[in-house]
Amino acid sequence: MATQSIIRSAMRADIQKIISLVNPLYNYHRDERFFIWQCFENIRPSILLVAKENRDVVGMYGIQRVQTTNGFSGGQVSWINIAKHKRGCGLFTEMATRAQSYFPDLDFVFIFANRDAVHACKKSLGMTFIGTLNRLILKNPAFAPPIESQIEIIQTDTIFDEATHQDGFVSFRREESYRRWRYAESTEYQYFKLTVATGEYVIIKLFQKVNSQEPVVGDIVDFECDLLDTRQLKRLFQAACFQLNRMNVAAVSTWAVPETPLRRVLQELGFSESSYDSYFGIKALGNNCSDLFYFNSWHLVQSDATNY
């Protein structure tokens, strides 16, 4: 007879058991500080549920509430994992239902999923995957500086101007308080803000696998710029690539939704698709969310996902 799992809100005392569940499943390892920052000190309203069985954590499922720039309330499905021996028994669906009950006013739920999670999210969560975010790569980013710029390490008092809503695009709100939490308080990476003379800026970081001889990659994880001004977008991303080249990266990576001006600019700069994909899934909970299913109307950045 199968052992019954007990589902409840996660506590800090669960973190070591969470790590025991999660770390064997991935080629990167998260420590206690990461889970405290992401799951217990998140600036956004959030809930993390765990399923316990014989004192072990056999499942986890979280939701973060995020506002969109066009006024919708979204629930970002986060930190999901089910132990292999518990898959296919309905635990994933039950945890999702309970987690969602903490936010009865959501207009939709969404996820940035890897390839392995897509089928489960379709089957158990009723997600529709509206597009693929290929990680775009530029190797050997050697550009002359196109415009004057200034770089700084992001601190808890770093200033972030937030652009107003831009017609034709929908994105997740990235308020100054959120960006300070997301970048200055990160337990995984050090982030830098590069600001050009005209005021636009990008957020960048360096990435290299622990104990790896692989080259360093520079990620452009976030930015503020007129999304229709291709001339300024090009200057901004050239400046970012120039700076990352000075920081000795072998390649630069970023995201851009297909069929958008940014995607075309990056292709002109020499960025090409890699084999690393993220799949953007949505489930509408109300009748007024149909516009959210047009993938090329979204402006999404790498840091909208928790792993950048």
Segment 230-282, tens digit of pLDDT = 999 999 999 999 999 999 999 999 999 999 999 999 999 999 999 888 999 99
Q: Quote the pLDDT of residue 125.
A: 93
Same domain, yes or no, for 270 and 147? yes
What residue type is assigned to position 47 of the chain? I
Residues 159 and 83 in one domain: no
Would the pLDDT of 1 be above 60? Answer: no
| H/E stretch holding 73 | strand 73-82
pLDDT at residue 2 above 60?
Answer: no
Write the single-letter amino acid at 191.
Y
CATH number for the domain spanning 271: value is: 3.40.630
Contacting residues for 287 by C-beta, under 8 A, at least 6 apart:
none
Distance CA 179, CA 159 (A): 9
Q: Which residue is associated with the tokens 């007129």?
A: 226
Helix (H, G, I), strand (E, B) or coil at 58: strand
Q: How confident is the model at residue 26 (pLDDT cuts 50, 70, 90)?
A: confident
Residue 101 has pLDDT above 90, yes or no: yes
Least confident of 75-84, 155-164, 225-234: 155-164
Residue 67's identity, in one-letter code, is: Q
Q: Is residue 182 part of a domain?
A: yes
> Would 237 be classed as within a structural domain?
yes
Q: Tell whether 102 and 139 lie within a shared domain.
A: no
Question: How far is Cα 62 from Cα 68, in angstroms, rounded to an integer?
Answer: 19
Q: Which residues contact 243 (CB under 8 A, 6 or more apart)?
A: 149, 151, 192, 194, 204
Parallel/antiparallel/unpaired status of strands 191-196 and 201-207: antiparallel
Q: 292 lies in a domain?
A: no
Q: Would you give the end-to-end CA distance of the chain in angstroms?
A: 41
CB 272 within 8 A of CB 136: yes
Domain-located, residue 301: no
**196 and 73, same structural domain?**
no
**Could you tell me if 74 and 174 lie in one domain?**
no
Q: Is residue 231 part of a domain?
A: yes
Q: What does the pLDDT read at residue 214?
A: 77
Do 41 and 22 touch, CB atoms closer than 8 A? no
Q: Is residue 255 within 8 Å of 84, Cβ to Cβ?
A: no
CATH number at residue 46: 3.40.630.30
* Residues listed for the chain: 308
The whole-number average pLDDT for the span 269-298 is 92
Same domain for 153 and 195, yes or no, is yes
Domain membership of residue 286 (yes or no) is: no
Nearest Cα residue to 177 out of 160, 189, 192, 191: 160
Per the CB < 8 A criterion, the answer to whether 151 and 243 are in contact is yes
Same domain, 92 and 163: no
Q: Give me the domain span that covers residue 15.
A: 6-106
C-alpha torsion angle, residues 96, 101, 107, 110 (rounded to 10): -20
Above 90 in pLDDT, residue 141? no
Over 70: is that where the pLDDT of 164 sits? Answer: no
Which residues are paired to 280 by β-bridges? Answer: 112, 131
171 pLDDT more than 70: yes
Q: Both 150 and 271 in a single domain? A: yes
Domains in the chain, number: 2
Note the pTM of the prediction, 2 decimals: 0.93
